[in-house]
Amino acid sequence: MKELLIKILTLLGIAQAGAPLQEGQDAYLFSLQNQEGKVVNLSDYKGKWVVLYFYPKADTPGCTIQAKEYTKLMPEFERLEVKVFGISTDGVEAIKRFRQKYNLSVEFLSDPKGSVAKAYGVRVIAGFCSRDTVLINPNLKIEKIYRGVDPSADPKKVLDYIKSKNP
């Protein structure tokens, strides 16, 4: 039923399905503005693990839980030299307010047209990204894709996977 609804919304132009993305493919290299308006280029992170977690909307309950969980685990991510980015279609000012309001350490990126989300196969429905996480390895290849993640469990699951690859 859910898939049928998404297909109907896509046909009506309300939803846009992203291209299917496979683990092992090259990461889509992008440039997006962060919460300070500075341009972030994924290509600058070659040699590091990168977490791209896509979320629907800043300062909503699930998104706040997920951002707080990533913030709580940030010292461990940093110790492993992992860069974490939260990405949504929110504008720069919205992600800046969100980060400040909850004193979050996650770096947020603004993808206002959802083009990066779509490139990674993330569904964009009525301007909101689905809650998916893409893990990029140090060779800028897609290591893992987690679709429809649980906002409270996602950060730990991703961290545990990276730890298993970096004993």
Known catalytic residues? 63
Other residues' Cβ atoms within 10 Å of the Cβ of residue 38: 10
| Short-list 53, 56, 124, 110, CA closest to 82 | 53
Name the token pair of 160: 């545990």
**What backbone phi and psi angles, to 5 degrees, belong to 129?**
-75, 150
- State the Cα–Cα distance between residues 125 and 5, nearest whole angstrom: 11
Alpha helices in 36-114 (DSSP H): 61-79, 92-101
Q: Could you tell me which of 160, 139, 85, 93 has the C-alpha nearest to residue 116?
A: 85
